[in-house]
C-alpha cells in the first residue's frame, strides 16, 4: 500500500493521463451521443422579477453575483454571513482567517464544493473563506444535508452541509465572441484590488474564461482597548496582505448532454498574523503566513438517449503553507514550519431513470492525500498518507405531491506513515433519508424533512501534529433531524413575490473532537464531548413595486441555536452553551432601486455568547450589531456597461469582536469601478 501511494505522487505523468482519458472521451462522443435538433427562435424579452427558489427537497439558501454588492461582499465569507444557521468565525482584518459553521456543527462538517468538486484540506479540515474572492463567482448555495441532485460526487454526500460555489460560465455568440470585464476596488486599510475577467468563444464547441486579481493592503485599523478602567484606542498592525489568484477554465460543449471542462487555479499570498490582543504587552506581533496553492480539476458529463447519465471528475492539488514566528521562545529563537500537502482525486458517478419518476445513482470517489514537512527537525513528523474510498448508492422517487430521496454512504479510510505509529483505519456506513410533500393542490406550500447520519474523520493535525496529536481519536459522529416548510407566491400587485421558509432542527454529536488545554502553551486533542443542538431557521424575502421606476426589496433571516454540552451530568459545564455560539442572530438586508441607481442597507445582530464552555462572566462576550451600506450606479460609457459603487462597512463605527481578543475593524470604506467590453 505504502509503495503504491509513493509511486502515485512520484510519477507526475500519471496525473496528466487522467485528463487525457477525459479528453479522449470527449473526442469519441459521436459514438454514443444522442442526436440533437436545433431551431433558432426569435428572441423575446421578458421584464419580470426573479422569484427566489425555496422549494427544494432540502433546506437551501442562495446568493448570485448580482447580489454580492448588496451585501458589501468582498469574499465568500462576506457573501454568506447573513444566511440562516450560519456563524462566520472571523479573526479580523482584511486578511484574517474566516471559517463557517452551519447549525452549530463546526467548520469541519461543512464541505466546500468548487464547480462540483470539493476544496479539501486534509491538514486541518477547514477552508479559509477569506481566500475565496467573489471575482468570477456566479452563484453560492448552501445546502443542509446534501444537494438535491443525486448525480453528484460521493464527497457531496459526505458532510453535514454543503457550500456549493459555481463559477461564471461563458455564454457567447458568433456575433459577440468575447467579453472582457475589468475592475478595481480600493479603500480603507490601504486596499488596492484590480480584477480582470476574459471570456472567449473559440468555436461552436470550445470556449474559455480567465479570472485574475491581485490584492494588496497594509491592514492597519483602529480598535478600542478596555482595561476595566479606561478605554484607549490603538492601531492594529502586522495585518498586511499581498495576494494573487488566477483561475482559468476551458469548456467544450457538444450539446447539453455532452460536456467537458478543465480548471486551473493558483493562489499565492503573503500575510501578517496580528495575533491576539494582550493587555500591557508591548510586543509587536511579527508572525507571518505564506500560502502557495494550486489545483487542476476536470469534469466530463454525458447523457445517453436511453437515460443513462455519466459524470466523471478528476482533481490534482498541491498546497504549501509556511508559518513563521520570528520571536518564538526556543533554542533557535524562532519557529519556522513549512508543510506541503497533496491530493490525487478521482470520482465517477452514474445515474439511470428506471421510470420517468424514479432515478437511481451510484458514485465512487478515490482520494489519496499526503502531507510532509520542510523543516529540519529529525523524526518529528509522521508524514502521513491517507487513502479514502467513498461509495454511495442513492435513489430519487417522485410520486406527484410526495418526493422521496435516500442514500447510503460507505467511507473506507486507510493510512500509512513514514515514522511513528499510524492511526487505525475506518469503515463507516452513513444513511440519509429526505422527504417533501405538497399538501395542497397548488405547489406554493411545501413541507420537508430529513434525517442524516454523518461523521467527520480526524484531520492530519488532530492525529499527528507534534505534542498535541492523538492517534486514538475516533470519528466525530453527528445525527441531524430537520422538519421545515416553505411558501412562495408570485404576485402582480404592489408586491412582486413573497417567500417564507422555516426549519426546526436537532443535531446530536458524539465523540466530539476538541482541544483540551493543559497550560498556556500545551494541550491535547481528545474525543471529549457530547453535544445537543436545537435550532430554528426562518427566512422571509419580498419585493415591492413602489412605482414604474422605484422598487424596494427586503430579506430577513433569523437563527436560534441552543447548543449544549451534555457530556457529563456531574460536570460544572454540563448544559452550558458551546463557545462562540450566540443563541440569536438576525440578519436584515433591504434596498431601494431607482432605475440604474440602487441603495442597500445590511444589518447583522448577534446576541451575547461565551468564548469558553465555562459560561462564566470572565468568558462573556457582549452582543453586537454591525451595519453596512452600499450605493451602486449602472450606466453606459460609449455603449459599454459600467458599474460603480461606494461601500461603507460598520457605518456606526461599533467596537466588537467575533473571536475573543481579535478586534474587528471600525468604520471603513471601499470604492469600486467595473467596465465590460
Per-residue pLDDT tens digits for 156-171: 999 999 999 999 999 8
pLDDT confidence of residue 51: 72
Is the pLDDT score of 38 beyond 90? no
Q: Give the model's confidence band at 468: pLDDT under 50 very low, under 70 low, under 90 confident, else very high.
A: confident
Q: Give the model's confidence band at 235: pLDDT under 50 very low, under 70 low, under 90 confident, else very high.
A: confident
- Residue 33 near residue 410 (C-beta atoms within 8 A): no
Q: What is the pLDDT of residues 264-282, one digit of tens each?
A: 999 999 998 877 776 555 4
- Residue 316 β-bridge partners: 296, 344
Is the pLDDT score of 146 beyond 90? yes
Q: Which residues of 383-398 are buried (b: 16+ CB within 10 A; e: fewer)?
A: ebbbbbebbbbbbbbb
Query: What value, to the nearest 5°, has the Cα angle with vertex 293 and ends 166 and 73?
Result: 45
Is the pLDDT score of 642 beyond 50? yes
DSSP per residue, 605-637: EE--EESSTT--GGGEE--EEEEEEEEEEEEEE
- The rounded distance, in Å, linking the Cα atoms of 205 and 251 is 8
- Average pLDDT (448-461) is 94
pLDDT confidence of residue 570: 93
Is the pLDDT score of 426 beyond 50? yes
pLDDT confidence of residue 1: 45
DSSP per residue, 366-432: EEEEEEEE-S--TT-----EEEEEEEEEEEEEEETTEEEEEEEEEEEEEEE-SSSPPPP-EEEEEEE
- The rounded distance, in Å, linking the Cα atoms of 26 and 116 is 19
Between 104-108, 162-166, 251-255, 373-377, the lowest mean confidence (pLDDT) is in 373-377
The residue ranges of every structural domain in the chain are 2-28+49-676
- Average pLDDT (84-93) is 89
- Residue 528 near residue 512 (C-beta atoms within 8 A): yes
Q: Name which of 522, 530, 526 is nearest 473 in CA terms.
A: 526
Q: What is the pLDDT of residues 168-183, one digit of tens each?
A: 999 899 999 999 999 9
Q: Give the model's confidence band at 193: pLDDT under 50 very low, under 70 low, under 90 confident, else very high.
A: very high
Is the pLDDT score of 11 beyond 50? no
pLDDT confidence of residue 276: 77
Q: What is the pLDDT of residues 509-548, one digit of tens each?
A: 999 888 766 544 456 788 878 999 999 999 999 999 998 8
Q: Give the model's confidence band at 115: pLDDT under 50 very low, under 70 low, under 90 confident, else very high.
A: very high
pLDDT confidence of residue 30: 40
Is the pLDDT score of 7 beyond 80? no
110-114 and 161-167 beta bridge pairing: parallel
Q: Cell 469541519 identifies what position?
A: 108
Query: What value, to the nearest 5°, has the Cα angle with vertex 647 and ends 644 and 651?
Result: 160
pLDDT confidence of residue 23: 39
pLDDT confidence of residue 25: 37
pLDDT confidence of residue 104: 93
Helix, strand, coil tally for the chain in percent (to 5): 10, 55, 35
pLDDT confidence of residue 80: 96
- Average pLDDT (458-474) is 86
Percent of the chain beyond pLDDT 70? 89
pLDDT confidence of residue 14: 36
- Residue 58 near residue 146 (C-beta atoms within 8 A): yes
Is the pLDDT score of 340 beyond 90? yes
Is the pLDDT score of 427 beyond 50? yes
- Average pLDDT (441-456) is 93
- Residue 167 near residue 136 (C-beta atoms within 8 A): yes
Between 22-26, 299-303, 323-327, 346-350, the lowest mean confidence (pLDDT) is in 22-26
Is the pLDDT score of 381 beyond 90? no
pLDDT confidence of residue 278: 65
- The rounded distance, in Å, linking the Cα atoms of 488 and 447 is 12
- Residue 200 near residue 181 (C-beta atoms within 8 A): no
- Average pLDDT (24-52) is 44
Is the pLDDT score of 488 beyond 50? yes
pLDDT confidence of residue 181: 96
Between 96-100, 412-416, 479-483, 583-587, the lowest mean confidence (pLDDT) is in 96-100
pLDDT confidence of residue 283: 54
Q: Which residues contact 587 (CB under 8 A, 6 or more apart)?
A: 81, 82, 83, 84, 555, 556, 557, 558, 602, 603, 604, 605
pLDDT confidence of residue 625: 96
Q: Name which of 566, 561, 602, 554 is nearest 580 in CA terms.
A: 561
- The CA–CA distances, whole Å, from 112 to 146, 158, 160, 430, 626 equal 11, 11, 11, 19, 26
Is the pLDDT score of 222 beyond 60? yes
- Average pLDDT (610-622) is 91
Q: What is the pLDDT of residues 51-62, one digit of tens each?
A: 777 778 999 999
Percent of the chain beyond pLDDT 90? 68
Is the pLDDT score of 42 beyond 80? no
Q: Which residues contact 275 (CB under 8 A, 6 or more apart)?
A: 238, 285, 287
Q: Name which of 662, 486, 655 is nearest 84 in CA terms.
A: 486
Is the pLDDT score of 565 beyond 70? yes
- Residue 244 β-bridge partners: 214, 268
Q: Give the model's confidence band at 39: pLDDT under 50 very low, under 70 low, under 90 confident, else very high.
A: very low
- Residue 100 β-bridge partners: 88
Q: Name which of 645, 647, 636 is nearest 675 in CA terms.
A: 636
Q: Name which of 594, 597, 499, 543 is nearest 48 in CA terms.
A: 543
2-28+49-676 CATH fold:
Maltoporin; Chain A (2.40.170)
CA-based R_g, the chain, Å: 25
Average pLDDT, the chain: 88
Amino acid at each position: 500500500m505504502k509503495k503504491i501511494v509513493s509511486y502515485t505522487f512520484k510519477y507526475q505523468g500519471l496525473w496528466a493521463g487522467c485528463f487525457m482519458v477525459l479528453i479522449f472521451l470527449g473526442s469519441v462522443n459521436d459514438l454514443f451521443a444522442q442526436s440533437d435538433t436545433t431551431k433558432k427562435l426569435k428572441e423575446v424579452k421578458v421584464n419580470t422579477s426573479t422569484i427566489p427558489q425555496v422549494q427544494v427537497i432540502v433546506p437551501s439558501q442562495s446568493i448570485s453575483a448580482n447580489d454580492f454588492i448588496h451585501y458589501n461582499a468582498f469574499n465568500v465569507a462576506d457573501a454568506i454571513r447573513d444566511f440562516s444557521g450560519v456563524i462566520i468565525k472571523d479573526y479580523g482584518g482584511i486578511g484574517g482567517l474566516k471559517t463557517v459553521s452551519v447549525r452549530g456543527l463546526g467548520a469541519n462538517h461543512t464541505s466546500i464544493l468548487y464547480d462540483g468538486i470539493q476544496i479539501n484540506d486534509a491538514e486541518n479540515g477547514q477552508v479559509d473563506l477569506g481566500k475565496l474572492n467573489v471575482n468570477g463567482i456566479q452563484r453560492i448555495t448552501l445546502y443542509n444535508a446534501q444537494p438535491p441532485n443525486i448525480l453528484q460526487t460521493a464527497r457531496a454526500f459526505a458532510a453535514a452541509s454543503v457550500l456549493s460555489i459555481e463559477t461564471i460560465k461563458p455564454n457567447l455568440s458568433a456575433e459577440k465572441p468575447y467579453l472582457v470585464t475589468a475592475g478595481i476596488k480600493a479603500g480603507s486599510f490601504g486596499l488596492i484590488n484590480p480584477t480582470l475577467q476574459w471570456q472567449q468563444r473559440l468555436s461552436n464547441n470550445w470556449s474559455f474564461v480567465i479570472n485574475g486579481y491581485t490584492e494588496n493592503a497594509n491592514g492597519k485599523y483602529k480598535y478600542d482597548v478596555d482595561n476595566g478602567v479606561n478605554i484607549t484606542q490603538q492601531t492594529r498592525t502586522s495585518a498586511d496582505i499581498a495576494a494573487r489568484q488566477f483561475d482559468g477554465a476551458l469548456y467544450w460543449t457538444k450539446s447539453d448532454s455532452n460536456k467537458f471542462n478543465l480548471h486551473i487555479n493558483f493562489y499565492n499570498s503573503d500575510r501578517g498574523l496580528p495575533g491576539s490582543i494582550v493587555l500591557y504587552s508591548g510586543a509587536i506581533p511579527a508572525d507571518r503566513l505564506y500560502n502557495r496553492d494550486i489545483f487542476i480539476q476536470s469534469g466530463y458529463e454525458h447523457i445517453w438517449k436511453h437515460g443513462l447519465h455519466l459524470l466523471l471528475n478528476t482533481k490534482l492539488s498541491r498546497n504549501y503553507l509556511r508559518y513563521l514566528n520570528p520571536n518564538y521562545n526556543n533554542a533557535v529563537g524562532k519557529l519556522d514550519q513549512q508543510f506541503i500537502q497533496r491530493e490525487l482525486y478521482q470520482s465517477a458517478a452514474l445515474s439511470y431513470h428506471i421510470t420517468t419518476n424514479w432515478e437511481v445513482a451510484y458514485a465512487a470517489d478515490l482520494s489519496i492525500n499526503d502531507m510532509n514537512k520542510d523543516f529540519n527537525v529529525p523524526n518529528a513528523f509522521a508524514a502521513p498518507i491517507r487513502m479514502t474510498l467513498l461509495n454511495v448508492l442513492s435513489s430519487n422517487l417522485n410520486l406527484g405531491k410526495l418526493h422521496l430521496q435516500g442514500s447510503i454512504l460507505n467511507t473506507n479510510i486507510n493510512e500509512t506513515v513514514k515514522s511513528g505509529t499510524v492511526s487505525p483505519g475506518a469503515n463507516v456506513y452513513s444513511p440519509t433519508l429526505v422527504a417533501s410533500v405538497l399538501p395542497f393542490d397548488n405547489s406554493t406550500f411545501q413541507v420537508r424533512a430529513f434525517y442524516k447520519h454523518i461523521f467527520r474523520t480526524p484531520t492530519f493535525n488532530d492525529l499527528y501534529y507534534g505534542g498535541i496529536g492523538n492517534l486514538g481519536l475516533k470519528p466525530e459522529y453527528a445525527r441531524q433531524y430537520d422538519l421545515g416548510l416553505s411558501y412562495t407566491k408570485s404576485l402582480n400587485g404592489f408586491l412582486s413575490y413573497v417567500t417564507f421558509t422555516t426549519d426546526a432542527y436537532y443535531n446530536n454529536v458524539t465523540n466530539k473532537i476538541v482541544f483540551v488545554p493543559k497550560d498556556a502553551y500545551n494541550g491535547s486533542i481528545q474525543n471529549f464531548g457530547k453535544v445537543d443542538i436545537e435550532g430554528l431557521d426562518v427566512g422571509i424575502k419580498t419585493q415591492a413595486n413602489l412605482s414604474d421606476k422605484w422598487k424596494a426589496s427586503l430579506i430577513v433571516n433569523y437563527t436560534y441555536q441552543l447548543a449544549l454540552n451534555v457530556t457529563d451530568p456531574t460536570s460544572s459545564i454540563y448544559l452550558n452553551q458551546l463557545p462562540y455560539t450566540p443563541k440569536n442572530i438576525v440578519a436584515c438586508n433591504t434596498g431601494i432601486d431607482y432605475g440604474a441607481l440602487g441603495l442597500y442597507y445590511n444589518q447583522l445582530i448577534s446576541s451575547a455568547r461565551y468564548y469558553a464552555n465555562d459560561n462564566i462572566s470572565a468568558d462573556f462576550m457582549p452582543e453586537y450589531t454591525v451595519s453596512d451600506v452600499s450605493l451602486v450606479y449602472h450606466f453606459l460609457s460609449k455603449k459599454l456597461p459600467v458599474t460603480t459603487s461606494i461601500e461603507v462597512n460598520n457605518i456606526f463605527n461599533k467596537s466588537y469582536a467575533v473571536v475573543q481578543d481579535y478586534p474587528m475593524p471600525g468604520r471603513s470604506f471601499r470604492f469600486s469601478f467595473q467596465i465590460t467590453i
